[in-house]
Structure 1
């Protein structure tokens, strides 16, 4: 076969359905799909035949080299997205803003005024400006603003892209005979996908193995109930929802385990074929976005009212004599609008949020959406699972309790190194042989737990080099836990006592998997050393598993279990649980036959084959023989206690929700400071179980319980959702952690859904707003601290920008309304003379304001953010206190600016300079330069004052080096405008004398003095 035919053959093997995707896709993907001839439905083919056609061994999977080759050939496993927006379109999008349209209108008005002045100029006389500088400057500043917005938006997109890479979904596949976890995008046709509860299915595939496998396919078929899956070949083609031996991309496993061979990836999957019909929905605005829209609306209305008042006042007092007066009045309205609205606010807000999210990611808290940051600072309750989040998730079997006694295992971690020590009191009481019997039963107990197990303990040789003359090297062993840590701890314990010799001859033939509802699991295995006879091995919660046991193994003999035996076992459970051990019971049942078909009660289908073992738990999981139970310890994380205390200080309540025994949960909660109790009796009274929650009569009683109880044990997934909803009804902002698929509803319902990055299922990660990369409770508290700091910084630069812009509005409004008193307009003059030009206001808003505002977005906290109570989401971002700050500073800023202008004008309130030889126009230019410069420096000092509502500016004055750098940059820009000739012409400025600079700085300092005096009064009021 030549290479071309070989490639086409492999291509056809990878796509049984062979339909090309619809819609406008890239040409490369179209070509790939068009090469594929129609193929039969893989659901109609035998599983082994499917594997053979794809050129893969189901027992080993693809090799890494072959997987890489196929990835290069077929492309990544992802749906084709819309073509990326060209950069030039993104740049032009920066001009799609009502304010920009207003400024463009101002440009048109300015050009009309320039043409009229040129036309009315006498021949040979100097009439009007040589160039329309106002229009040119406005256009240039619009371009600069667009460039800055484009750069900032690009940086924010890069930050979001980096986060998406960190939260990329992953899948377990069989590569080179070992289970590997890879990015879902790298899955290729022929991959053997290993499925477990909570996994998102990465591609379309044919099942090769399934144990109690149920898949939620509502996203694809609309079927609301999870669909049971099996490996049987279909006799005829069926609808998508009835292909029980197939799994499909985009669906999720709700129960059981399985393995599937990938038949289609990317656009060739079923969901890929309908991808063009899927429409993206716009996200709702966050509270912060809604607040910004509200503020813009209020500012717009206020400016329109002010502009209307000014225009009416001018029309009544001075009248409009010609077209020049109308144009000047329109330019005045534009100046007011430019002064009122902080043009760079949206871009600055995006960048500050993006920087904050990046800092959170460095602390292992990955926030999926920028605007979710604001919610973090409002959390009032954190509901957390115990295992792995509050504890280390390093499960270790320390106790084994059997009918003959109890033993202790030494050693910690996953290294199978340790020994068994008898600790039962029976030997001391004179019962001969009790210690030996307990040790023998402990070996059997651990063997049963290791067989009924889906975990894996991997041994890896790591070569190390010793420093020395001979540079000798040695091999160390690294032990890696694969799967559930609890299950791996049983394998480790079994290896410690050489129990692996007992189960080495067993081969698993079927499994009844663990689920959160069943709280147990069982496997059926055949003994190759005993003619293949079958045995059921089971493990689970002791109180649950006891219900299926009718016999007990004592000192090598099996006898009926008595009520006394049950009470003794349950008493041991209580004792171990009180010592913070998690308990797991073990039992078995010999079936006495090598064929399941010979077991009484086992169902046989019409073809004479045994029905899936996973569906026959009622037959196989009964009449079990109890052999013993283990006590597993998972020590609390050392840093969590301090984090719980920190959360409590911040007004945040910590709630533990776990499936463990009540006494175990209570003891861990007490150790961590979640509850305050001293003894086991007290601990029991502070915990509610799922059963007790079900017994509560109504919603009011449920709310009353959740208001007072902070530890919940033996809960089902539906209880977690009810607890979250109850806490929300009480007005709390709830953060909820989760890892399993059944946690997803509660995680999604919570105000801040938090998924575990290490142990969390893909379904839960998709439902969450935040992912913990380290599964650590302390990371949540650190994220809350960071969220509060980010929110504070947002308030800081909003206080700064809005007070500065209000100062500009009051300057323009006061300068026009008081023009005669201040000397801005002279007796007999016609038209409107604005105190500051629109180009000067644009310069302040877009260049001088932007750098300090960005620097305030990374400002260190000026007080202890964790010493405050949580903010309510109903609280306004800009509250009454802040509006007071904004208006007060705005008035002071406008007053000192107008005073500075008055001091350089004839006929003013504070000075009475005569109109000398330079004329009123030149004098007005100098006064404008003074006002322009005073306003810039007043805003620079206002940036320092805006860091706190009531704390002195001198507290942590030099803590933010970025802010001082921004002030220095803005100062240099203003000096350039004052002293560079062509900028003088563009912005209507003239160089200032040394004396004028003293006046500028002195008047600007009044803003800082006034702010400090106001803060002193506020602090005195707070102390009282």
Structure 2
């Protein structure tokens, strides 16, 4: 398909009504003149800033912000809030029926609850939106431009018409642009045209009305460069681009709900229907027990039922969930893992397989020369990375002067001369500009005294660049002696050896006979078997003044200097991270384009596989049908010499086997696998813009250990969600059981006798139920949402995504706690009421206030038990200061509602004495003790459960956290 016809930019700002032809059919000089663009130096910074201010940022039009009044209405449209408003109406009717005397306290209090809940919802939504916006700013696309004659990398949003855009493989095209020059440039335009094949681009001007998909001299915003390089002048930005034209035609689409969102919605619907049913039953039973016959009594019963339904369902659950996810994602960002979608955290915590690249993720991506083999022997170089610290050693100790030292110096020097890389120290850190393998020679040369200094005396006169066909490169340098220059060559050892006729031995050059040739090949095979990448170095003398053109003609009759073994050392923290992943039941796989021997050696060093583990190469994968591929992926964890389509097939096979797969990638061709994976992870440093856009998570440090840390954090976040769900639902069930059993057992506990003959007997007033909901739900639940790890989340297998967050065992525990809360609350009331099971002599107001207080305290103290389904409440008791603050606030508010006169009037409470408070506290502690006994039984039934014999995050767990925290800046 093709996009809508559109000018594409240069016509913008032209005279009213003037429409110029599309840039694809206009000559480059004409466009450059119209845009006042410089094809060599680009725009100046000042001019670019002026155009940006005039035209606005290069962004598609965002949805207009939702007005505050609409956001408030959205809070009030919640069905549960509607119940609150119904309760306000009922209470106003009751107030009017009773003569409209004084202030309608119930209506005022309930209305205040509505306002407070709406404000809390707005604040929590804003916090979540701000967190997502902050994370989005970390993943914004960038583009390379020429500004003021210098290459600059800028946010794509700052591109302006007339900018000179530089394109290279892996770039996301930041704006619509007319090509000025291109070399082997191919662009994937599927996001715009629907065509899956990459399009070859050429700056030659087109003729006639050309469809969008055939405009080969244009590149468009939102497409991806998959091959080659190019220069283009920006002709349209923002909504003036072809992508902007499509955006104007599309309605906003709704994203598919994640499993977590569906689970929360299911819990909300199920609980809402159940509680409304219970509320109806309570109202009917209350009306029958109390023989309701008057309108005021009927209004009181209706108010009780509505209030019970409202209080029993945690209407703030979605907002609390958003805040908890946002805070968790911010924690991940501080650990260098940027999660682009909040609800992806749940999937991350459920990952059962991590399929990782090798280079740069498991390894340092700092190629290091470790071995040099010459005609006189072999040396080993110590030190890793680009810092030139290390020694040159032989089997007998440090390398001393002699033939071997001379040969090694010539190998490292030659490799440094046939080289396009640079190594420099910047702000105390050694960095590389150019190919890492070439940089390895420069670093190694600095480790052998006198080598780097000798290299610096040579001047480069020309080069024959490396190509995949030649597998070698050469540099023409001088001086190599009186009247001569030298051609220094490095490349694949077997290719280079075929061009050699002699070998360097000390200061002498001797013929390369069959025995010496066989010895060199044996050395190469031995190094390759040890998983080293091998390169050979050779040279020959050429006449002074040799023309730099046509150097390939001189690449024969070379003198072989030696072979180096290069390795990319594993990151030191990865082995510990792999061990932790395995302990967590997460399988680690390596998928790389490297040689199988290299892949197996690195995987073995890191503990991914054992010493004799097999590796499957890409050609072998091609011969496997889907069923055999699934069998292979169950047993093999190392894949080498793979192409992007192989990675995609491996991911598909793992998912077909029921795994939740996290996949890393950095190249353009990794994008399909990243989009297919449950969690696509892009490299933040080495990754291309296209890969970052395809991924759900971006590693800011390209480090595998960060992935494992993110899995751990994902599991902690899911556990925190379960904690506040357990707390909220258990507490709300306690209110339901209190009211329901209080009405049913009113006569047994003395409620009927304590009430006046014409009064409706209820254990709790409607306003008291709403107060409990306000005091105990929000602050403690939020504090649980940021609770530190209690159970050992990495000591158990991943949670299947099909497993409900609120499972049967969790429902059973919540029902037990809710029933216990209801019973101890009613027993507290019975203790102070005359005529019940226990003797008492207080008034109904005092007894009800004591029970009301006991229920509030029980919920506030239960929050410590809710931190784990099996571990004791004492584990990490003081680790969460926010939790203690929330509990302290709740106790203070409850004391105020009991003893402050105007709050007594509003909520129907009476002052309590020391004995009443002591009984209320004891009743609350009884709930916690009952729950702890239940958890003790669970631990004894299954010793493997978290919490058994201190199986939580103990000493070993702390060591793991310290290991992962070493990544922090």
Band of TM-score, shorter chain: 0.7 to 0.9
The within-5 A match list for 1:372-451 is 372-397=344-369, 413-414=385-386, 450=419
Q: Does 1:861 align with 2:853?
A: no
- Give the Cα separation in 2 of the matches to 1:731 and 1:841: 45
> Would you say the 8 A contact 2:127–2:323 is kept in 1?
yes
Find the partner of 2:773 among 845, 857, 860.
845
Find the partner of 1:340 among 297, 312, 324.
312
Alpha carbons of structure 1 residues 312 and 213: separation in structure 2 relative to 1, 3 Å: same
Residue 322 (structure 1) shift? 3.5
Find the partner of 1:274 among 237, 243, 246.
246
Deviates more, 1:394-403 or 1:163-172: 394-403
Alpha carbons of structure 1 residues 901 and 753: separation in structure 2 relative to 1, 3 Å: same
Q: Does 1:960 align with 2:932?
A: no
- Give the Cα separation in 1 of the matches to 2:798 and 2:387: 44
Alpha carbons of structure 1 residues 652 and 965: separation in structure 2 relative to 1, 3 Å: same
Q: Does 1:749 align with 2:730?
A: no
> Would you say the 8 A contact 2:618–2:643 is kept in 1?
yes
Q: Does 1:718 align with 2:718?
A: no
- Give the Cα separation in 2 of the matches to 1:904 and 1:702: 72
- Give the Cα separation in 1 of the matches to 2:354 and 2:30: 51
Count, aligned residues: 914
Q: Does 1:686 align with 2:614?
A: yes
Q: What whole-Å deviation, never above 9, does each CA across 1:719-751 have from its counterpart, x for those lacking one?
A: 111222222222222211111111111112222
Q: Does 1:988 align with 2:908?
A: yes
Instruction: Give the TM-score normalised by structure 2.
Output: 0.84
- Give the Cα separation in 1 of the matches to 2:218 and 2:389: 43
Partner of 2:936: 1016
Alpha carbons of structure 1 residues 433 and 906: separation in structure 2 relative to 1, 3 Å: closer
> Would you say the 8 A contact 1:457–1:482 is kept in 2?
yes
Find the partner of 1:157 among 123, 129, 139.
129
Q: What whole-Å deviation, never above 9, does each CA across 1:320-370 have from its counterpart, x for those lacking one?
A: 524334323322321221232012222222111111111111111111111
The within-5 A match list for 1:616-1015 is 631-677=565-611, 682=612, 685-696=613-624, 698-826=625-753, 829-830=757-758, 832-911=760-839, 913=841, 923-1015=843-935
- Give the Cα separation in 2 of the matches to 1:40 and 1:523: 47
- Give the Cα separation in 2 of the matches to 1:843 and 1:458: 66
> Would you say the 8 A contact 1:740–1:761 is kept in 2?
yes
- Give the Cα separation in 2 of the matches to 1:331 and 1:981: 24
Q: What whole-Å deviation, never above 9, does each CA across 1:942-963 have from its counterpart, x for those lacking one?
A: 1111112222222332222221
> Would you say the 8 A contact 1:61–1:192 is kept in 2?
yes
Residue 996 (structure 1) shift? 1.6
Partner of 1:105: 86
The within-5 A match list for 1:589-600 is none
Alpha carbons of structure 1 residues 191 and 493: separation in structure 2 relative to 1, 3 Å: farther
Residue 630 (structure 1) shift? 5.5
Q: Does 1:211 align with 2:183?
A: yes
> Would you say the 8 A contact 1:16–1:38 is kept in 2?
no
Partner of 1:349: 321
> Would you say the 8 A contact 1:736–1:752 is kept in 2?
yes
Alpha carbons of structure 1 residues 828 and 437: separation in structure 2 relative to 1, 3 Å: closer
- Give the Cα separation in 1 of the matches to 2:652 and 2:916: 64
Residue 892 (structure 1) shift? 0.9
Residue 699 (structure 1) shift? 2.3
- Give the Cα separation in 1 of the matches to 2:194 and 2:516: 50
The within-5 A match list for 1:21-100 is 38-47=19-28, 50-51=31-32, 54-100=35-81
- Give the Cα separation in 2 of the matches to 1:130 and 1:382: 67
- Give the Cα separation in 1 of the matches to 2:594 and 2:746: 77
Q: Does 1:144 align with 2:119?
A: no
Residue 291 (structure 1) shift? 1.4
Q: What whole-Å deviation, never above 9, does each CA across 1:854-888 have from its counterpart, x for those lacking one?
A: 11122222232222222111221112221121111
> Would you say the 8 A contact 1:757–1:774 is kept in 2?
yes
Q: What whole-Å deviation, never above 9, does each CA across 1:538-566 have from its counterpart, x for those lacking one?
A: 998879x89xx98667569xxxx999999
The within-5 A match list for 1:102-501 is 102-118=83-99, 129-236=101-208, 238-314=210-286, 320-397=292-369, 413-414=385-386, 450=419, 480-482=431-433, 485-486=436-437, 488-489=439-440
> Would you say the 8 A contact 1:446–1:499 is kept in 2?
yes
Alpha carbons of structure 1 residues 824 and 955: separation in structure 2 relative to 1, 3 Å: same
- Give the Cα separation in 1 of the matches to 2:30 and 2:441: 37
Q: What whole-Å deviation, never above 9, does each CA across 1:29-63 have from its counterpart, x for those lacking one?
A: xxx68889644544345546655654554444444
> Would you say the 8 A contact 1:574–1:663 is kept in 2?
no
Q: What whole-Å deviation, never above 9, does each CA across 1:262-291 have from its counterpart, x for those lacking one?
A: 232222322223321133322222222211
Q: Matched residue of 1:821: which SS?
A: coil
Partner of 1:25: none
Partner of 1:124: none
- Give the Cα separation in 2 of the matches to 1:45 and 1:539: 46
- Give the Cα separation in 1 of the matches to 2:763 and 2:853: 13
Partner of 1:6: none
Alpha carbons of structure 1 residues 103 and 781: separation in structure 2 relative to 1, 3 Å: same
Residue 395 (structure 1) shift? 2.1
Aligned Cα root-mean-square deviation (Å) = 4.4
- Give the Cα separation in 2 of the matches to 1:527 and 1:40: 53
Gaps of 5+ in 2: 1-6, 480-486, 505-511, 945-969
Gaps of 5+ in 1: 1-14, 21-31, 119-127, 463-476, 530-535, 600-618, 915-922
> Would you say the 8 A contact 1:211–1:511 is kept in 2?
no
Partner of 1:582: 533
Q: Matched residue of 1:104: which SS?
A: helix
Q: Matched residue of 1:100: which SS?
A: helix
- Give the Cα separation in 2 of the matches to 1:692 and 1:570: 27
- Give the Cα separation in 1 of the matches to 2:517 and 2:261: 61
- Give the Cα separation in 2 of the matches to 1:415 and 1:346: 51
Q: What whole-Å deviation, never above 9, does each CA across 1:635-686 have from its counterpart, x for those lacking one?
A: 1111111111111111122111111111111111111111221xxxx3xx52
Alpha carbons of structure 1 residues 410 and 893: separation in structure 2 relative to 1, 3 Å: closer
Alpha carbons of structure 1 residues 202 and 958: separation in structure 2 relative to 1, 3 Å: same
Q: Matched residue of 2:747: which SS?
A: helix
> Would you say the 8 A contact 2:712–2:793 is kept in 1?
yes
Q: Matched residue of 2:906: which SS?
A: helix
> Would you say the 8 A contact 2:376–2:403 is kept in 1?
no
> Would you say the 8 A contact 1:17–1:38 is kept in 2?
no
> Would you say the 8 A contact 2:462–2:477 is kept in 1?
yes
- Give the Cα separation in 2 of the matches to 1:243 and 1:116: 77
Q: Matched residue of 1:370: which SS?
A: coil
- Give the Cα separation in 1 of the matches to 2:500 and 2:640: 28
- Give the Cα separation in 2 of the matches to 1:281 and 1:140: 36
Residue 19 (structure 1) shift? 5.3
Residue 376 (structure 1) shift? 2.1
Q: Matched residue of 2:64: which SS?
A: coil
- Give the Cα separation in 1 of the matches to 2:537 and 2:28: 34
Alpha carbons of structure 1 residues 34 and 899: separation in structure 2 relative to 1, 3 Å: farther
Instruction: Give the TM-score normalised by structure 1.
Output: 0.80
> Would you say the 8 A contact 1:19–1:268 is kept in 2?
no
